[in-house]
Amino acid sequence: MVKNVIFLAVFLFGYTVQAITGFAGNIFCMPVGTLALGLQSSVSILNATGFLACTVLAVLNIRSIHWRELGKIVGVMLPFVALGAWLDSVVPLHALLKIYGLVILAVGIKNLVQRKQSFLPEWALWGVLVAAGLIQGMFVSGGALLVIYAVQKLTDKEQFRATLSAVWSILNLLYAGVQLYQGHFTHEVWIIVLCCIPLIVLATVVGGKLAKHISQERFLKLTYVLLLVIGAVLLITS
C-alpha cells in the first residue's frame, strides 16, 4: 500500500512535468515504479497512463502539432520500440540503465554549460531517433533521448509540447495494445491505472497553466535541468 502511494505521488509530479514540457513523465515514474511495483507492471501502467495523458495534451494543442516531424519520428522509432520490447524479454538490462543515465547526464550538462547551442548533423539525429525507440521499448523512457532531436527540429515550445505529446500518444497506444494482448494488464495494474486517471487530469491542468508562464529560454533550461535529474535518478536506482 505504501509503495503504491509513493508511486502515485511521483506519478503526479512526473505527469505535471510532462504537461509542461511534453516529455519526462514516464522517465521520472519508471525507476520508482520498477522498485515499487516491478518492471513489467510499471511498463503496462505507464503505457496506459502515457497514452491517456499525452492524448489529452495532443488534442488540446492539435493546431501546434508539426505533422511532418510527427510522421518521421513515429516512423523511425516504431520498429525500434518493437526491438527494444523484445530485448527487454530476453536480455538483462540493468547495466544498460546505468549507461543510459550517464548519456542523459552528459547531454544535460553539455547543453547547460555551453553558451551557444550546437547542432548535430542529420545522420546523428537519425541515430538519436533509433536509440530513443530502443529505450522506449525497453524502459518506456525514450523521451530524454528524443528531446535531443526535438530541441533541434522543433524550436517553438508549443510545437515541441504538442508534437512530442502526439508521438507518445501513438507509441504508448500501440505498445499498450500488445501488452494487453499478452495478458500483462492484471487486476492490480488496472486498479493503479484507474487511480492515476484523476491525477492525469490534475497534472494536465496545473502543468498547462505553468507552461503559459515559462519563456522559450527558461523552457529550454528547464528541459536540460530535467535531463540532469533524470540521469541522476537512473544512476541511483539502477
- Residue linked to cell 508511486: 7
Distance, in Å, from the CA atom of 173 to the CA atom of 106, rounded to the nearest integer, reads 31
| Exposed/middle/buried for residue 180 (C-beta within 10 Å: 0-12, 13-18, 19+) | middle
Give the pLDDT score at 92. 67
User: Which of the four pLDDT bands, split at 50, 70 and 90, describes residue 231?
Assistant: confident
Q: How many domains does the chain have?
A: 1
Q: How confident is the model over 61-76, as a mean pLDDT? A: 95
Residue 103 CA to residue 98 CA, distance in Å, equals: 9
* Res. 115: pLDDT tops 70: no
Residues 6+ apart with CB under 8 A from 123: none
Structural domain boundaries enclosing 10: 2-237
Instruction: Give the pLDDT of residue 8.
Output: 93
pTM, two decimals, is 0.82
Evaluate if residue 238 carries a pLDDT over 70: no
Nearest to 100 by CA among 204, 212, 233: 233
Q: How many CA atoms lie within 13 A of 148 on its CB side?
A: 27
Q: Cα separation of 99 and 55, whole Å?
A: 30
Span 14-43, mean pLDDT? 82
**% of the chain surpassing 90 pLDDT:** 36
What pLDDT is recorded for position 173? 92
Can you tell me the distance from the alpha carbon of 33 to that of 10, in angstroms, rounded to the nearest whole number?
Answer: 9
Say which range, 35-39, 115-119, 168-172, 204-208, has the weakest mean pLDDT: 115-119
How open is the CA angle 129-131-134, to the nearest 5 degrees? 110
Helix, strand or coil, per DSSP, at residue 81: helix
Per-residue confidence band for 198, with pLDDT thresholds at 50, 70 and 90: very high
DSSP state of 63: G
Length of the chain: 238
pLDDT at 93: 60
User: Closest by alpha carbon to 17, among 236, 166, 208?
Assistant: 208
C-alpha–C-alpha distance, residues 8 and 147, integer Å: 25
Residue whose entry in the numeric block shows the C-alpha cell 549507461: 99
Residue in the block written with cell 553558451: 115
Please, what is the average pLDDT of the chain?
Answer: 86
